[in-house]
Amino acid sequence: MPSTTRVGATLAAALALALLPATAASAHVRVVPEQTAAGGFTVLTFRVPNESADAATSQVTVDLPTDTPLLSVSTKPLPGWTAAVEKAPLPAPVDLFGTTLTEAPAHVTWTADPGAEIGDGQFQEFEISVGPLPDAGMRLVLPAHQTYTDGTVVDWDQVADEGADEPEHPAPELTTTAVEGSGGSPDTLARVIGASGLVLGVVAVVLALTARRRRADA
């Protein structure tokens, strides 16, 4: 019986150690996209946990890409928080859907009202609607900055190379994907054209046979 107890204790300890890295790794600012299809609009949800036992999170700022700017950015009202979208000049003009942009949304900042801060052991979700998303395969890095009531600011802005370990303060990010079904569009068009040609061919044969019969009757 003591042996069984020791085995159980060992397994429990091993399980706790196995779960510890996953728990620690999940306590970061994350972005969860509603969808990632290129050219479309999506809702981005930034999940922000409080990681301080001594202070609350009172402000969150997210930086938006300027090399592939987002034409439209709107915030979802969140009780107890005030949201502001700040525009900034682009490094160079960008042509987007027939419009030349010289400035675009660059930052979104949420500020807590007194008493609405994210406390110890809590998290909050902040949502924005953005679009159109850039071409498929684009990696959108969205650095976040978390301000605490004691004045501490944690920058979630580190980007890991592909295949490398996750950094200590990873930046929220997403990668755009191809529009669903877009790969079949050329094939569909070819089938439509082929079907049209077949119909025209059948009509031509029918007309030829009709003309031949008329000549025979004459």
Which has more confidence, 134 or 98? Answer: 134
Query: In this structure, are residues 81 and 56 in contact, taking their beta carbons and an 8 Å threshold?
Result: no
Residue 150 in this model has a pLDDT that exceeds 90: yes
Q: 70-123: per-residue pLDDT in tens? A: 999 999 999 999 999 999 999 999 888 788 899 999 999 999 999 999 999 999
Sheet arrangement for strand 99-112: 81-96, 99-112, 57-63, 144-148, 153-156
* Tokens at 155, concatenated: 């920058």
Q: What is the pLDDT of residue 24?
A: 39
Which has more confidence, 7 or 149? Answer: 149
Q: What is the pLDDT of residue 213?
A: 58
The whole-model pTM stands at 0.72
Cis omega (within 30 of 0) for bond into 132? yes
CATH of domain 27-179: 2.60.40.2230
Residue 165 in this model has a pLDDT that exceeds 80: yes
Distance from the Cα of residue 117 to its chain's centroid: 25
75-to-72, 157, 187 alpha-carbon distances in Å: 10, 21, 39
Query: In this structure, are residues 60 and 83 in contact, taking their beta carbons and an 8 Å threshold?
Result: no
Q: 4-52: per-residue pLDDT in tens? A: 444 444 444 444 434 433 333 457 999 999 999 999 999 999 999 999 9
d(CA 170, CA 206): 69
d(CA 96, CA 78): 30
Burial tier of 205 (Cβ tally within 10 Å: 0-12, 13-18, 19+): exposed
The mean of the pLDDT values for the chain is 81
* Closest C-alpha to 97, from 73, 71, 77, 68: 71
Which has more confidence, 211 or 29? Answer: 29
Across 193-217, average pLDDT:
50
d(CA 59, CA 80): 12
